[in-house]
Amino acid sequence: MILNGGYKILSLVKSPLFGAVCLDGSPPAYHWDRGFGTGINSWLIQLEGGGWCNNVTSCLVRKNTHLGSSNRMVKLIPFSDFYDWNRVKVRYCDGSSFTGDVASVNPVTNLHFRGARVWLAVMEDLLAKGMINAENAVLSGCSAGGLASILHCDSFRALLPMGTKVKCISDAGYFINAKDVSGGHYIQTFFDQLVATHGSSKNLLPSCISRIRPGLCFFPQYMAQQIQTPLFIINAAYDSWQIRNVLAPVIADPHGFWESCKLDIKNCLPSQIKTMQDFRLQFLAALLRIGKSSSRGMFIDSCYAHCQTEMQELWHMSDSPLLNKTTIAKAVGDWFYDRNPFQRIDCAYPCNPTCHNRVYDPQPHHYPDL
């Protein structure tokens, strides 16, 4: 949802009432571009992505980056679409998609697992600054922020007045529980550890954790059907992050057989393409578990990509990815304003010539691109 716009200064949220802090204990932060004209009472909330940390070791590394500390965040950023709306970019600094809540702080590591409190503190701050009067509101996000927009969708709607038109958009946030190429369950184990480390279970959907273990409730396929608020899913069926970190993580590929393929899908061998086609079918099966509803939208293309709403080239340009001759921007706009429901799933790779397939630079160290 990028549109060339002004650069907005970082706003810090100081909320001792909630004890809401980043991993390193610094205050939460967001950028806010004020609405004007007809958009003065419309709000677009975008949750920043950036993966997760699943244990003390990875959270300590993250603590010293902009994804764990507001002290290390860039103070100015460009802003997004909905040009006359209030546009808020909530910075991500907790490593749990805003779900963690552990009261105690280990004095040795000084790690704070307070993502859910960060979410609440930012929302309370924005409500006090005018969001309580919202007529339209969209909660969106990409990657870990896209997952957070699903996890917090109904609670976001509950914060706003009864008459507010509220919808949620998840971009590249539909992570699936799939086996990796070694037959292991890397991502499932990772999410189990994440939920345990951050104490996230109390902030996951009660209707989900009452049925299955909390770590599984981090996967949209097990809980998105229970979301009552209208939801639009934007995802590549060959999501490049999931191919790199769910299907073929380094731990499952110790000899680097998948290394070149993960950097550029054009490098993939026929056998690897076959494995990725099978992954696409698993993804679609997991996606369709959310059920049919006219309130839900889908834009599922066959690109090798991750996050397609944060660049104008992918969102709404003459050469943007198309489904049914429609850009992501038009599909989302028609869905939000109830002009036309959009639920499209692309044919299999390499059928879509409008795709912008991601090409990665070789990495000197074998770490997941979290």
Domain boundaries along the sequence of the chain? 8-174+225-236+294-345
Q: Which regions of the chain are under pLDDT 70? A: 1-7, 15-17, 76-81, 311-314, 316, 363-370
What Å distances lie between residue 146 and 173, 307, 359, CA to CA? 4, 9, 22
Q: Is 143 a catalytic residue?
A: yes
Answer whether 124's CB lies under 8 Å from 15's CB.
Answer: yes
The catalytically annotated residue of 143, 170, 200, 201 is: 143
Answer for the pair 15, 27: CB distance below 8 angstroms, yes or no.
yes
Q: Check residue 2 and give its pLDDT.
A: 43
Question: Rounded CA gap, 122 and 119, in Å?
Answer: 5
Is residue 182 within 8 Å of 195, Cβ to Cβ?
Answer: no
b or e along 47-75 (b: 16 or more beta carbons within 10 Å of the residue's beta carbon)?
A: bbbbbbbbeeebbbebbeebbbbbeebee
> What is the C-alpha separation between 245 and 306, in angstroms, rounded?
12
The pLDDT, as a whole number, for residue 81 is 60
Nearest to 154 by CA among 171, 172, 139, 141: 139
Q: Is 366 one of the annotated active-site residues of the chain?
A: no
Element (H, E) at 8: strand 2-12
Determine which one of 306, 316, 346, 356 is catalytic.
306
The rounded distance, in Å, linking the Cα atoms of 172 and 312 is: 16
Rounded Cα distance between 262 and 275, Å, is 12
State the pLDDT at residue 83. 81
Residues ≥6 apart with Cβ < 8 Å to 316: 81, 327, 328, 329, 330
Q: Looking at this protein, which amino acid is placed at residue 55?
A: N
Residue among 125, 239, 253, 301 flagged as catalytic: 239
8-174+225-236+294-345: CATH topology is: Rossmann fold (3.40.50)
- To the query of whether residue 318 is one of the catalytic residues in this protein, the response is no
